[in-house]
Amino acid sequence: MSELRWNPVLREWVATATHRMDRPQLPKDWCPFCPGSGKVPEEYDVHIYSNDFPTFKTPPYTPIIEGTELFQVQPSVGVCDVVLYTPEHNTTLARLPVDHIVKLIRLWKARFEELATREEIHYVFEFENKGEVIGVTMPHPHGQIYAFPFIPPKIQTELDSAKAHQERTGRCLFCDIMNEERKDGRRIVGENDDFLLVLPFYARFPYEVHIFSKRHLQDFSQFEEREIRSLASILKFILLKYDNLYGFSFPYMMVIHQGPTDGANYDYFHFHIEFYPPYRSETKLKYLAGCESGAGTFINDSSPEEKAELLRMTEPLSL
């Protein structure tokens, strides 16, 4: 069914989830996330739906295989939620009013705080995959929350870098990145009172945009009401720009990077959101090919300065 298998070569966990292969092909005219399906409340604004085919769950599945010293096995304990953004089937996050996006962020915050208190959960990962090219099977607007029993490797790398930078300079790595981006200016896409929107110097994807909180915060639990509203409006701002780039609803992965919830101190970390859109032009997709998948080095065949300028010039209008 599902277990964690240790890869001793890359020193990372791989989650198997063989039960996900049995996911039913849903009928085209029925959506479990729409009111009236019997699976969600008759009325809701935003809603946490517990995943029908979770990779992580509490109590966990029994691993189907026994580990050895080299090939370690752990149960996939944790939580997998689906976050329903709206009862409306045919819309997107970009098209929701700011007041509604505020409700979504309050839900992200509340669920983060709830999961953070749980002993078995070391990392709360909130994200969205959008668009068929990303592999999304359910068109109803939604995101997901994976609550991990360990700190995922990409986050661990960010933590290690931030810690090393702090020890070396006494400053926050992400605050320094923001200052450096401001000094240069060419890659700034936008900002408001509380957040900065940057297509960073080191972007892997042509339209990779990061949102940094201006205050040095680690996670949603420290957000003030004003910041929730500011984040909602800057989210809408960048998503509308994305949609207006080529005149179609722009697919992306949106990932929220917060500090871990394993009880240790991560005050050197800094809250941010990253977007990885798969398009590199109006018709061409970027694939993770040999160099990216086999060597771990991304080839970004465009200049972040040019793409940032293009995004700056694109109007944030509703399609």
Contacts of 179 (CB under 8 A, 6+ apart): none
What is the spatial distance between Cα 120 and Cα 223, in angstroms, rounded to a whole number? Answer: 24
Tell whether residue 111 is a contact of Zn ion (CB under 5 A): no
φ, ψ for residue 243 (rounded to 5)?
-65, -30
Which residue among 13, 16, 33, 79 contacts Zn ion (CB under 5 A)? 33
Tell whether residue 270 is a contact of Zn ion (CB under 5 A): yes
> Is 291 in contact with 299 (CB distance < 8 Å)?
yes
What is the spatial distance between Cα 190 and Cα 172, in angstroms, rounded to a whole number? Answer: 22
How many residues are listed for the chain in this entry? 319
Residue 141 beta carbon to Zn ion: minimum distance, rounded to whole angstroms: 8
- Enter the DSSP assignment of 120: T
Q: What is the per-residue binding string for Zn ion in 248-267, x denoting contact by CB under 5 A?
A: ---------x----------
Nearer to Zn ion, 142 or 236 (CB): 142
Question: What one-character-per-residue DSSP string does 256-275 give?
Answer: EE----SSS--TT---EEEE
Tell whether residue 172 is a contact of Zn ion (CB under 5 A): yes
Contacts of 9 (CB under 8 A, 6+ apart): none
Active-site entry in 47, 100, 142, 270: 142
Residue 58 beta carbon to Zn ion: minimum distance, rounded to whole angstroms: 26
Tell whether residue 175 is a contact of Zn ion (CB under 5 A): yes
Tell whether residue 174 is a contact of Zn ion (CB under 5 A): yes
Residue 86 beta carbon to Zn ion: minimum distance, rounded to whole angstroms: 9
Which residue among 1, 31, 136, 253 contacts Zn ion (CB under 5 A)? 31
Nearer to Zn ion, 57 or 142 (CB): 142
Q: Which tokens sit at 60?
A: 């966990």
What is the spatial distance between Cα 130 and Cα 137, in angstroms, rounded to a whole number? Answer: 10
Residue 125 beta carbon to Zn ion: minimum distance, rounded to whole angstroms: 11
Residue 214 beta carbon to Zn ion: minimum distance, rounded to whole angstroms: 9
Residue 234 beta carbon to Zn ion: minimum distance, rounded to whole angstroms: 17
Nearer to Zn ion, 33 or 125 (CB): 33
Residues between 81 and 110 that touch Zn ion (CB under 5 A): 89
Return the number of other C-beta atoms located less than 10 Å from residue 62's C-beta: 9
Nearer to Zn ion, 172 or 188 (CB): 172
> Is 34 in contact with 40 (CB distance < 8 Å)?
yes
What is the spatial distance between Cα 260 and Cα 106, in angstroms, rounded to a whole number? Answer: 19
Tell whether residue 286 is a contact of Zn ion (CB under 5 A): no
* Residue 270: active-site member: no
Active-site residue list: 142
The contact set with Zn ion (CB under 5 A) reads 31, 33-34, 89, 140, 172, 174-175, 216, 257, 270
